[in-house]
């Protein structure tokens, strides 16, 4: 054979497409994204013939130009011209599924139909005359049960055979005026297209499909000519061209099914209907929703099983962190390397830099898997769509989907799975918005920062933690409303007309595979990012120049000829600390860079090198912020003192003293601004990696990170400048700028806004 | 003009015409709400919007603002 055969799998969402794809390809799958968009792309080799590639198209209802998934699917079908389309059709929902089929058969690609869930149709006592249906549609039909695996192999073989020598000619025709116009269009505009695609192009031109019109570049005079035909048809049929076509497809399907589909009569409520009656009941829906969310949270991220909670995820992750991360990777590798007599800097790099970083990521994996498992379950059983249904009213105001609730909730545990959970959101704009704003929620690793600030400056007030959550939610709401009015987000329509699929028992194969795919994607992306970033940060904190000699600062400080009393006095002066507090780290590259870089934070009240350096290391992992303060305040747990508490208990006095000193007595305000900035600014590198993975676009990733940092800066700025108006010591210039920023913010929040009608994505 | 928005929960109506244009209209029609089709209004979401309807044998969620585009009798 000279050419590789490619088959596309197309069908409605919830038609069993994923199940069929998994059954057809087994473990031979590659998961990625369609270029430049946030839509997932899956390909696999057929089990029955490993030479043949099956491409899983996004689940779609139509080939309109208005949703990203549909545009992605039809571009693939028109431009890549696969050798056959395997169209999965849900027999229990025949009319709407065949609506897509009528469009697929016009593409000039041979179509084979896999008629799924026939067993359920028969069980309900209905009947479908498959032979007649096949004749009328002009394509081969194979009855399958994707869930049980019945007929899957036959469907694959039929698709291969059809790909080799099949042909599908659309059997339906439109009404007289439409066909008249179509004939004209074919004649004057699309004759240069491949013959088998001409009908599809003609119909799209009739529909005035902008994407196709753009592509065809029809001259103005020809356009005016065909416009007359279209207008004539529109006048005669009293509707717009697009609606005429849609309408006639459904009319055609309705008539065709009259003799083919025999329903036993309107049945009673199905099991699914009964479940839904309770689950989305007006009174019970919200309590049930809260309970489900509580369970997801409690099982994955709550109190560990070891501490009397029910969180299997937390328990496994604690185990993994202690055993795998700390004991094996960090200490174990250190022991081995020391045994080999490796140089201290190498041990530092491998054990403290790379392996500690890798361990931190791997430690999270069990928790992620538990979390992803539950999310996949919710999605597979049909509850996820109900979440969107229940929460839509609240979330759409902020340019988000009802399903955004889940990423936000997960984000309070860890931002990485939070960002990844955005994948279930149906609309790309909502998805992007969710990815950008999810990490505003204070995640578990930000808790110690809050603990430090609350303990050191606010007498341990619980209001600080409460305010952190409030700030997180407010940041999401404010950003959502502001961003949806910006150019980046305007332009894409968001019709929220969503199918509520029937509830069914989860297909374990799908759930486990979905869980693993997300888990693996987490390991891969977050892993590589964190390895690189931990090397960089390790380098920045370990190396520096001491008295003119560059090297590892710890080693250089052993050398008394370099570290003279005079030099120590110099360093102490530069960093503004007493001489006996001078540390090797004060000469590290990080400290040197943080010192001048702290200018950036001057207008926020914490323009000192220590909080600056802590903020920078927070990018590796937010837990590092407190640990770093420990190091910078020379808290040394090696010298017989107890280990530094997670919230930095032992250094509270020093922190308070320092914040009060460099902020001119406004320590509380400066510390609060510091906390706001650290809560809202770019998340850790691993979460940024997740953002990059989900955005699948460098432009959007940078936009997201820049927005987060910018937003954090502005918020902290406003708090510090306006706060001093009340606390005293205000700076009039700063105050004016802060008020202008506040004004701009409010203007963006309240300016009128109109939903766009066009999809701008190409 | 009576629209889908005005229909009480539990009632079944027939679509007379779809108003509006563009993406939302196309999407509504793509999902099977076309002239002459019967729609059963099953329930309101707990917060009062969107509505759940049954059309062509399956369940569909649609916002009230969009339901206003659907003229029924």
How large a percentage of chain A has pLDDT more than 90?
A: 42
Length of chain A: 762
pLDDT at A331: 81
A278 reaches B (C-beta below 8 A): no
pLDDT at A761: 46
pLDDT at A762: 39
Do residues B33 and B15 make contact, with C-beta atoms less than 8 angstroms apart?
yes
Tokens of A703: 């936009």
On chain A, the residues whose CB falls within 8 A of the CB of B57 are 92-95
SS3 of A480-542 = HHHHCCCCCCCCCCCCCEEECCCCCCCCHHHHHHHHHHHHHHHHHHHHHHHHHHHHHHHHHHH
Distances (CA, A) of A597 to A29, A540, A582: 47, 14, 20
pLDDT at A265: 62
The number of C-beta contacts closer than 8 angstroms across A and B is 125
Do residues A135 and A106 make contact, with C-beta atoms less than 8 angstroms apart?
no
pLDDT at B11: 95
**Which bin fits A388, alpha (ψ -120 to 50), beta or left (φ > 0)?**
alpha
- Which residue's structure tokens are 């959007």? A700
Q: Where does A1-70 show beta strands of DSSP type E?
A: 6-11, 29-33, 40-45, 53-56
- Give whichever of A5-14, A38-47, A270-279 has the largest mean pLDDT: A5-14
CB atoms within 10 A of CB A118: 23
Q: Which of A99, A251, A495 sits opposite B66 (nearest CB)?
A: A495
Find the closest chain B residue to A283 by CA distance. B46
- Nearest CA to A114 out of A39, A12, A45, A25 is that of A12
pLDDT at A1 over 60: no
Rounded to 10°, the helix A698-727/A667-680 angle is: 160
Report which of residues A328 and A674 the model is more confident about. Answer: A674
Alpha helices in A265-308 (DSSP H): 271-279, 285-300
Domain segments of chain A: what residues? Answer: 6-165, 177-241, 404-504+588-762
For residues A757 and A760, give the distance between their C-alpha atoms in angstroms, rounded to a whole number. Answer: 9
CB atoms within 10 A of CB A732: 9
Mean pLDDT over the full length of chain A: 87
- Nearest CA to A180 out of A125, A259, A233 is that of A233
Distances (CA, A) of A531 to A322, A331, A685: 19, 18, 10
Mention every residue, 6+ apart, whose C-beta is less than 8 A from residue A707: A436, A479, A483
Find the closest chain A residue to B49 by CA distance. A393
Mention every residue, 6+ apart, whose C-beta is less than 8 A from residue A454: A460, A461, A462, A464, A465
Q: Which of A242, A251, A393 sits opposite B48 (nearest CB)?
A: A393
CA A541 from centroid of its chain's CA atoms: 32
**Which bin fits B48, alpha (ψ -120 to 50), beta or left (φ > 0)?**
left
Read off the pLDDT of residues A430-478 as tens digits, 9 standing for 90 and up: 899 999 999 999 988 888 899 889 989 998 888 898 899 999 999 999 9
Do residues A376 and A515 make contact, with C-beta atoms less than 8 angstroms apart?
yes
SS3 of A363-404 = HHHHHHHHHHHHHHHHHHHCHHHHHHHHHHHHHHHHCCCHHH
A497 reaches B (C-beta below 8 A): yes
SS3 of A688-739 = HHHHHHHHCCHHHHHHHHHHHHHHHHHHHHHHHHHHHHHHCCCCHHHHHHHH
Tokens of A334: 């250190």
For residues A713 and A700, give the distance between their C-alpha atoms in angstroms, rounded to a whole number. Answer: 20
pLDDT at A758 over 60: no
Phi, psi of A121 (to 5 degrees): -60, -45
- Which residue's structure tokens are 């001491």? A546
Alpha helices in A59-109 (DSSP H): 68-75, 94-104
Give which of A234, A246, A288 to mutate to test B binding, by max B Cβ within 10 Å. A246
pLDDT at A620 over 60: yes
Do residues A80 and A105 make contact, with C-beta atoms less than 8 angstroms apart?
no
Report which of residues A97 and A566 the model is more confident about. Answer: A97
pLDDT at A635: 63
B16 reaches A (C-beta below 8 A): no
Read off the pLDDT of residues A327-371 as tens digits, 9 standing for 90 and up: 787 788 888 988 888 887 788 778 777 777 677 677 778 888 888
For residues B48 and A46, give the distance between their C-alpha atoms in angstroms, rounded to a whole number. Answer: 47
Distances (CA, A) of A373 to A31, A515, A516: 18, 5, 8
Read off the pLDDT of residues A531-561 as tens digits, 9 standing for 90 and up: 777 778 778 888 888 888 888 888 888 888 8
For the segment(s) B4-72, the CATH number from 3.40.50.10860, 1.20.1250.20, 3.40.50.150, 2.30.30.90 is 2.30.30.90
B66 reaches A (C-beta below 8 A): yes
Read off the pLDDT of residues A12-54 as tens digits, 9 standing for 90 and up: 999 999 999 999 998 888 888 888 787 889 999 999 999 999 9
B19 reaches A (C-beta below 8 A): no
Read off the pLDDT of residues A82-98 as tens digits, 9 standing for 90 and up: 999 999 999 999 999 99
Give CATH for domain A177-241.
1.10.287.1770
- Per DSSP, the three-state class of A613 is helix
Mention every residue, 6+ apart, whose C-beta is less than 8 A from residue A374: A295, A296, A299, A300
Is domain A6-165 given the CATH code 3.40.50.300 in the classification? yes
Q: Which of A61, A283, A389 sits opposite B52 (nearest CB)?
A: A389
For the segment A151-160, the average pLDDT, to the nearest whole number, is: 96
B71 reaches A (C-beta below 8 A): no
Under the banding of pLDDT at 50, 70 and 90, the label for residue A526 is low
For the segment A151-165, the average pLDDT, to the nearest whole number, is: 95
Report which of residues A679 and A414 the model is more confident about. Answer: A679
Residue B50: asked if its preceding bond is cis (omega within 30°), the reply is yes
Full strand arrangement of the beta sheet holding B58-62: A497-499, B58-62, B51-55, B38-44, B12-18, B70-72
pLDDT at A266: 61
Contact B23 A286 (CB under 8 A): no
pLDDT at A759 over 60: no
Q: What is the ipTM of this complex?
A: 0.96
Phi, psi of B18 (to 5 degrees): -110, 130
């Amino acid at each position: 054979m000279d050419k590789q055969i490619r088959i596309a799998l197309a069908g409605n969402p919830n038609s069993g497409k994923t199940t069929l794809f998994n059954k057809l390809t087994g473990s031979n799958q590659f998961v990625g994204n369609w270029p430049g968009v946030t839509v997932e792309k899956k390909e696999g080799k057929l089990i029955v013939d490993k030479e043949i590639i099956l491409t899983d198209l996004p689940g779609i209802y139509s080939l309109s130009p208005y949703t990203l998934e549909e545009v992605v699917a039809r571009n693939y079908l028109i431009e890549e011209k696969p050798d056959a389309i395997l169209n999965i059709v849900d027999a229990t929902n025949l009319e709407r599924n065949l609506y897509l089929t009528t469009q697929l058969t016009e593409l000039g690609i041979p179509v084979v139909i896999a008629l799924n869930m026939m067993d359920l149709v028969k069980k309900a006592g209905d009947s479908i005359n498959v032979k007649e249906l096949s004749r009328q549609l002009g394509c081969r039909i194979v009855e399958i049960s994707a869930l049980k695996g019945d007929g899957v192999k036959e469907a694959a073989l039929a698709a291969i055979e059809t790909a080799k020598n099949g042909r599908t000619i659309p059997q339906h025709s439109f009404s007289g005026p439409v066909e008249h116009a179509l004939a004209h269009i074919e004649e004057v505009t699309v004759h240069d297209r491949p013959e088998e695609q001409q009908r599809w192009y003609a119909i799209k031109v009739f529909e005035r499909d902008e994407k196709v019109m753009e592509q065809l570049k029809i001259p103005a005079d020809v356009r005016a000519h065909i416009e007359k035909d279209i207008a004539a048809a529109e006048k005669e049929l009293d509707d717009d061209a697009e609606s005429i076509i849609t309408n006639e497809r459904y009319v055609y399907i309705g008539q065709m099914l009259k003799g083919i589909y025999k329903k036993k009569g309107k049945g009673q409520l199905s099991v699914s209907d009964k479940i839904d009656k309770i689950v989305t009941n007006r009174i019970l829906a919200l309590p049930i929703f809260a309970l489900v969310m509580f369970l997801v949270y409690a099982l994955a991220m709550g109190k560990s099983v070891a501490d009397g909670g029910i969180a299997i995820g937390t328990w496994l992750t604690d185990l993994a962190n202690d055993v795998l991360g700390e004991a094996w990777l960090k200490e174990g590798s250190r022991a081995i390397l020391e045994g080999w007599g490796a140089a201290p800097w190498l041990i530092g790099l491998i054990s403290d830099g790379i392996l500690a970083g890798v361990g931190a990521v791997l430690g999270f994996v069990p928790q992620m898997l538990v979390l992803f498992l539950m999310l996949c379950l919710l999605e597979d059983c049909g509850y996820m769509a109900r979440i969107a249904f229940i929460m839509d009213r609240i979330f759409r105001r902020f340019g988000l989907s009802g399903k955004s609730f889940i990423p936000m909730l997960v984000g309070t545990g860890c931002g990485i799975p939070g960002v990844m959970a955005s994948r279930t959101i149906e609309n790309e704009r909502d998805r992007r918005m969710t990815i950008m704003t999810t990490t505003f929620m204070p995640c578990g690793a930000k808790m110690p920062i809050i603990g430090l600030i609350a303990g050191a400056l606010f007498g341990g007030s619980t209001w600080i933690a409460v305010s952190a959550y409030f700030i997180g939610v407010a940041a999401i709401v404010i950003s959502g409303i502001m961003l949806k009015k910006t150019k980046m987000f305007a332009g894409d329509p968001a019709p929220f007309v969503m199918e509520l699929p029937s509830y069914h028992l989860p297909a374990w194969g799908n759930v486990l595979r979905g869980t693993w795919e997300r888990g693996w994607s987490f390991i891969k992306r977050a892993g590589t990012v964190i390895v690189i970033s931990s090397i960089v940060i390790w380098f920045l904190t370990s190396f520096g120049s001491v008295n003119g000699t560059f090297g590892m600062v710890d080693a250089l400080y052993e050398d008394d000829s370099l570290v003279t009393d005079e030099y120590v006095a110099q360093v102490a002066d530069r960093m503004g600390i007493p001489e006996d507090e001078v540390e090797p780290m004060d000469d590290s590259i990080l400290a040197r860079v943080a010192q001048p870089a702290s200018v950036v934070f001057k207008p926020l009240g914490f323009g000192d090198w220590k909080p600056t350096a802590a903020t920078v290391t927070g990018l590796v992992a937010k837990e590092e912020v407190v640990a770093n303060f420990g190091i910078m305040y020379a808290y040394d747990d090696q010298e017989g003192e107890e280990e530094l508490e997670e919230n930095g208990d032992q250094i509270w006095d020093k922190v308070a003293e320092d914040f009060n000193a460099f902020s001119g007595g406004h320590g509380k305000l400066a510390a609060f601004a510091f906390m706001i900035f650290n809560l809202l600014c770019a998340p850790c590198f691993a979460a940024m990696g997740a953002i990059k993975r989900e955005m699948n676009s460098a432009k959007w990733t940078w936009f997201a990170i820049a927005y987060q940092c910018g937003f954090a800066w502005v918020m902290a700025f406003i708090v510090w400048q306006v706060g001093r108006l009340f606390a005293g010591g205000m700076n009039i210039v700063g105050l004016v700028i802060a008020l202008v920023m506040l004004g701009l913010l409010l203007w963006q929040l309240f300016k009128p806004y109109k939903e766009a009608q066009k999809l701008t994505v190409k | 003009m009576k629209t889908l928005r005005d229909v009480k929960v539990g009632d079944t109506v027939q679509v007379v015409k779809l108003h509006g244009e563009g993406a939302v209209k196309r999407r509504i029609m793509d999902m099977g709400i076309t002239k002459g089709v019967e729609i059963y209004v099953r329930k309101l979401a707990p917060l009062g919007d969107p509505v759940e309807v049954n059309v062509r044998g399956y369940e569909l969620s649609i916002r009230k603002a969009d339901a206003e585009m659907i003229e029924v009798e």
